[in-house]
């Protein structure tokens, strides 16, 4: 049994997609192992960030945790419900207790409906407002996300991107969810609007004890918002721990490279120099050994040929690298500049 303050427990979760060029009867069909043995625990009221380059499996993991993507192996238990078993009653209960906020605020709202109708519909379907009190609750939800309740009469086209994203969050909150997963929900917004949405999440955490899984490729935002962070690389979590600890003392060369690429990183933070080279390999043909080794400037023979490293732990900090921290601090020069990860959604 898990501890009572654990709301979500994922154990060795695998999600596969059929790869391109599949033959008849699936012969020689290769699979994309989008999520490749992820274990994760989320505590009630905590905000956990999931970071990593595009294609690392963040969105697939998020969907799998909410039962929106079939799981090939492993287990997910959310708020006492076995997500991975897919029992219909459990899935229904799950829908009432969880919500997802997506990247594209405008397109995730029905353009023909007013904001008020969209929210009222969610309240009705989930039985969250008594008859005659729906309008009032819609107003409350809008106020909760910092919008004027008078906006209830507008359609999405009459709102700004930031306002649409707030409506998206209000719609998620209408369910009174125990857990929200936000997938790149500020990536499409201007920096100042991003800040407002982040502050909104910080307020909700304080006011209603919101549990949030915040998927993002922007590490600076994650650092500001999240209590803990998990770093994904090719479908695996390669480092995980309290945000400040991971940012100040990253143990995995991939995390180091990601952090070193944040433009506004604290200038007096003594980070080991850890550039990485090249692009992520194809998940259709993951490299043997440590999947990061072709891009890792510290890689040794064991990293190329040994088994994929398992998470090593010190207190609540875990990292999947066999090298000792001292081996990662060698001075390096004449290496190409780090490519800044960009988010390109292969499957919108």
Residue number, 233 or 298, with CB nearest to ligand ADP: 233
Q: Which does 250 bind (CB under 5 to 8 A by kind): Mg ion, ligand ADP, none?
A: none
Nearest alpha carbon to residue 31 among 72, 61, 59: 72
Q: Which does 142 bind (CB under 5 to 8 A by kind): ligand ADP, Mg ion, none?
A: none
Q: Cβ of residue 232: shortest distance to ligand ADP, in angstroms?
A: 7
Residue number, 65 or 138, with CB nearest to ligand ADP: 65
Long-range contacts of residues 306-313, Cβ cutoff 8 Å, at least 24 apart: 308/236, 311/237, 311/240, 312/251
Q: Which secondary structure element, helix H or strand E, spans residue 184, and what is its range?
A: none
Q: Which residue is nearest to Mg ion (CB)?
A: 59
Q: Which does 347 bind (CB under 5 to 8 A by kind): Mg ion, ligand ADP, none?
A: ligand ADP
Residue number, 50 or 197, with CB nearest to ligand ADP: 50
Q: Contact positions toward Mg ion, by CB under 5 A?
A: 59
Q: Contact positions toward ligand ADP, by CB under 6 A?
A: 17, 32, 34, 52, 54-60, 283, 346-347
Q: Which does 57 bind (CB under 5 to 8 A by kind): ligand ADP, Mg ion, none?
A: ligand ADP
Q: Cβ of residue 176: shortest distance to ligand ADP, in angstroms?
A: 27
Q: Cβ of residue 280: shortest distance to ligand ADP, in angstroms?
A: 9
Long-range contacts of residues 292-301, Cβ cutoff 8 Å, at least 24 apart: 292/233, 292/234, 292/238, 292/252, 292/253, 292/254, 295/254, 296/253, 296/254, 297/253, 297/332, 297/335, 298/253, 298/274, 298/323, 298/327, 298/328, 298/330
Residue number, 28 or 136, with CB nearest to ligand ADP: 28
**If you ran DSSP here, which 8-state letter would residue 261 be given?**
T
Q: Which does 103 bind (CB under 5 to 8 A by kind): Mg ion, ligand ADP, none?
A: none
Residue 144 contacts residue 206 (beta carbons within 8 Å):
no
Residue number, 17 or 90, with CB nearest to ligand ADP: 17
Q: Which does 25 bind (CB under 5 to 8 A by kind): Mg ion, ligand ADP, none?
A: none
Q: Cβ of residue 50: shortest distance to ligand ADP, in angstroms?
A: 8
Q: What are phi and psi of 338, to 5 degrees?
A: -70, 130
Residue number, 32 or 296, with CB nearest to ligand ADP: 32
Q: Cβ of residue 55: shortest distance to ligand ADP, in angstroms?
A: 4
| SS3 call for 266 | coil
β-bridge mates for residue 182, sequence order? 101, 214
Q: Which does 152 bind (CB under 5 to 8 A by kind): ligand ADP, Mg ion, none?
A: none
DSSP 1-12: ---TTEEEEEEE
Residue number, 326 or 348, with CB nearest to ligand ADP: 348
At a CB cut-off of 8 Å and minimum separation 6, what does 118 contact? 109, 110, 167, 171
| SS3 call for 112 | coil
């Amino acid at each position: 049994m898990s501890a009572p303050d654990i709301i979500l427990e994922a154990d060795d979760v695998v999600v596969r997609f059929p790869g391109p060029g599949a033959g008849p009867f699936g012969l020689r069909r290769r699979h994309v192992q989008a999520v490749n043995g992820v274990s994760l625990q989320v505590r009630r009221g905590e905000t956990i960030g999931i970071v990593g380059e595009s294609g690392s499996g963040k969105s697939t993991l998020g969907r799998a945790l909410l039962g929106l993507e079939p799981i090939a192996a492993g287990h997910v238990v959310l708020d006492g419900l076995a997500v991975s078993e897919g029992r219909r009653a459990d899935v229904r209960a799950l829908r009432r207790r969880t919500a997802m906020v997506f990247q594209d605020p405008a397109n995730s709202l029905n353009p023909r409906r007013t904001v008020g109708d969209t929210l009222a519909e969610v309240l009705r379907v989930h039985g969250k407002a008594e008859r005659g009190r729906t309008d009032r609750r819609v107003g409350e939800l809008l106020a909760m996300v910092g919008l004027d309740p008078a906006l209830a009469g507008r359609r999405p086209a009459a709102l700004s991107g930031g306002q649409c994203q707030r409506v998206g969050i209000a719609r998620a909150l209408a369910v009174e969810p125990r857990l929200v997963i936000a997938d790149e929900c500020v990536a499409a917004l201007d920096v100042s609007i991003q800040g407002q949405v982040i502050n909104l999440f910080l307020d909700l955490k304080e006011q209603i004890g919101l549990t949030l899984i915040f998927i993002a490729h922007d590490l600076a935002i994650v650092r500001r918002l999240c209590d803990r962070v998990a770093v994904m690389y090719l479908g695996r979590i390669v480092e995980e721990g309290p945000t400040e600890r991971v940012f100040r003392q990253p143990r995995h060369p991939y995390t180091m490279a990601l952090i070193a690429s944040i433009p506004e990183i604290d200038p007096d933070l003594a980070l080991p120099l850890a550039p990485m080279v090249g692009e992520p390999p194809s998940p259709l043909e993951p490299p043997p050994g440590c999947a990061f080794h072709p891009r890792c400037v510290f890689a040794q023979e064991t990293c190329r040929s040994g088994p994929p490293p398992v998470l090593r732990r010190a207190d609540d900090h875990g990292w999947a690298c066999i090298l000792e921290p001292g081996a990662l601090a060698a001075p390096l020069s004449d290496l190409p500049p780090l490519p800044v990860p960009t988010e390109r959604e292969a499957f919108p």
